[in-house]
């Protein structure tokens, strides 16, 4: 099982597609958007289809077996 990724948010939010790029799970913002569109990303346990969904502190994102905890 892949380790949990801790992401320290430095602003009020980050767009989901950008988060995937920043933590290294997508090699580009475009790939991040495609992953979201394909239904591969969950936010707080629900599939998220909004590519630019605002992710805030306290949320959990799961993609491809990786868990990202936002602080």
Q: What is the pTM of this model?
A: 0.93
3-class DSSP assignment, residue 5: strand
The pLDDT value recorded for residue 2 is 80
Structure tokens at 1: 């099982």
Residue 6 pLDDT more than 80? yes
Residue 1 pLDDT more than 80? no
d(CA 5, CA 8): 10
Q: Where in the chain are the domains?
A: 5-70
3-class DSSP assignment, residue 27: coil
Q: Which of 12, 41, 13 has the alpha carbon at shortest distance from 26?
A: 41
The pLDDT value recorded for residue 3 is 82
The pLDDT value recorded for residue 40 is 97
- pLDDT tens for 13-57 read 999 999 999 999 999 989 999 999 999 999 999 999 999 999 999
Please name the fold of domain 5-70.
3.10.290
């Amino acid at each position: 099982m892949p380790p949990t990724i801790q992401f320290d948010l430095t602003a009020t939010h980050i767009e989901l597609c950008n988060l995937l790029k920043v933590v290294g799970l997508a090699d580009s913002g475009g790939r991040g958007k495609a992953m979201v569109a394909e239904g591969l990303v969950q936010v707080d346990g629900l599939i998220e289809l909004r590519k630019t969904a605002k992710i805030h502190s306290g949320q959990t994102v799961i993609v491809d077996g990786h868990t990202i905890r936002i602080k």
